[in-house]
Structure 1
């Protein structure tokens, strides 16, 4: 099982550059995001990660740049600790590999030192094989035919093919002086195709993977004061993206590497002693959490306790503003006990039906300590407002 319902792939056991690239590919599959959705997720985190760069990096067998690895892993929805783990593994592989690290460098021969960046390479052109730049195919100049720009993301719409040069591949040998002109023409054609395809791509980002039903992109642009699309644009239940009814550990993505889940706790300021939804250790967590669809893309999040019975997570007093705590109450079917699950990053935003705001850590993404209260807040798209749903075994004491 892949996606926000399973444990993400790890670089452990990877010993070669090719295996590392393959592991990055598995991480992308786990995230369930297309190349363009990864680009949007990276932008939301302050990174630059063009789709062409992703395609190029995942189509190689040499190590991608460290900056790419960090931006890519974050875009897939992992936290800073797991990102650092991937980057550290990449550094270990790089330290254990003798140069050249790229086929372009290998052309220099075994006794020739690597060509420094921005200096002429063996063919008289700047050798920029490992530069990480927006808009380039994994930071390197394309050397194949115009339509060989790396693997196409199978989850994305097919772009129109770039016309081949009618002179054929042998034209470089006959007329080397035309090479620069051909590159200019090809680059112009690519830009034209991308401009024409922009409208189609933007519309396709809002099409459900299950086929045809519209839904917001993983990191939608702000259409309300909340920073996310309105609740009416949330995906319908059963679209193939939302979780089936069942037992789960609900994990805030900003503490996924700290083994913290949503469970019962108390206010840290001791103002009250009532049960609240907080971040706490996933081990032996209580109560047990059951997620149940109630139709229209909305869900109840039920807490099942062997002594206290069943309660539903509820926005305190049905308040509609931010900084409102979440507590279990008797299930009544009220709107402030129901949540839309909106795909976001590698998981879901939880949006109370009555307010359209988002659930997240009371003090935002920096609030990573055990005991941090869950609260209704203005939507920010930050990782504390993105939740992973990891299947959990049914408790032995319940008939479910």
Structure 2
């Protein structure tokens, strides 16, 4: 097989050039469409050969998840983050400089993400904690609507997405109830507050921080009682938790998946556990199709960044176990209240 590294997505300056580089990558891999479909399936990805053939005939950018599956199937998984960053740069309209590379990855098999907490290579620098590419992994992967790290054209794209969600007020002194576009649900919060009235979070790489302790981030750790062998979501200092990186993926109905990407364990989506001694805690699982979907409800108290995380289909909200502010406290589903431990800051990274 030829050196796949000879095909550099950084060279692409527009969508047509990017697709041409994808064609070159396929040719250098020496694999047929059927081969790529089968390899993707072994990686735990979905990559229909008819879909891929159609993508390579067009001149428009593929979805990030399809791109990541394709790159991994070609055998270039170690550079999936580079491909995704290049795609995001072009999607954001930045045809100049190359994007900041970041690790990316997707876990091959379903089930809870294993591996030691907060392990893996350092992520590229970005505000506080870096959510710009994969978390618990082996190869790189990225979610739909991938956004590049701060400092690239992604910041412009994120602002553009937010602006598309803004609704016009009927009068200077009145704000209409805001309806999440295409979502089918009304955003909660103070409808008279211009900072909280119209702001579903932008999908992309983020950090999620308890509002009371913004120096802490939700990241992978272990339950403090040692009752569960796999990783669960806990609050730890952001500076010490560059991985896994957190990706907010917009789903149907105005809901979101919260993805974690790790350089060794792959991609996992946070899921509320329903049984056992850690019932209610959040675990990253590889089968994102069955992961918990979350509604992010704006909170007036925390201005533009504040949200309450409400698991879809349930009656609870995500808070911090025992209302604890110390490091290592677990995130857990509990009865919804107005308590401060149920407010989180979602910051782009």
What is the TM-score normalised by the length of structure 2?
Answer: 0.44
User: Which structure is richer in relative contact order (CA contacts within 8 A, separation 6 or more)?
Assistant: 2
What is the TM-score normalised by the length of structure 1?
Answer: 0.38
Q: Which has the larger radius of gyration?
A: 1
